[in-house]
Amino acid sequence: MQVQVFSLERLREFVESQRCSWCGGRLKMKYYDHPNGVETEVGKVWVYGECQKCGYQWALWKLLRRKSRSVT
């Protein structure tokens, strides 16, 4: 089974293009090593966006789910 490796730069572009659903603030991407995270060029990491206004932390999976719902 081939594992898909994601670029941190592409992930950053996606996360930082999103807005906080609670306050509308801008998100800044952050990540840390995590065994159940996404595979990147630096290993498996948990990716999230932190709102610069209210501090809420949006997990990548929440941002992706929110985006897929807005398309349908």
pLDDT tens digit sequence for 55-65: 999 999 999 99
pLDDT digits (tens, 9 = 90+) for 9-48: 999 999 999 999 999 999 999 999 999 999 999 999 999 9
pTM score, two decimals?
Answer: 0.88
6 contacts 40 by C-beta, under 8 angstroms = yes
CATH topology of domain 8-62: N-terminal domain of TfIIb (2.20.25)
Measured in degrees and rounded to the nearest 5, phi and psi for residue 20 equal: -65, 130
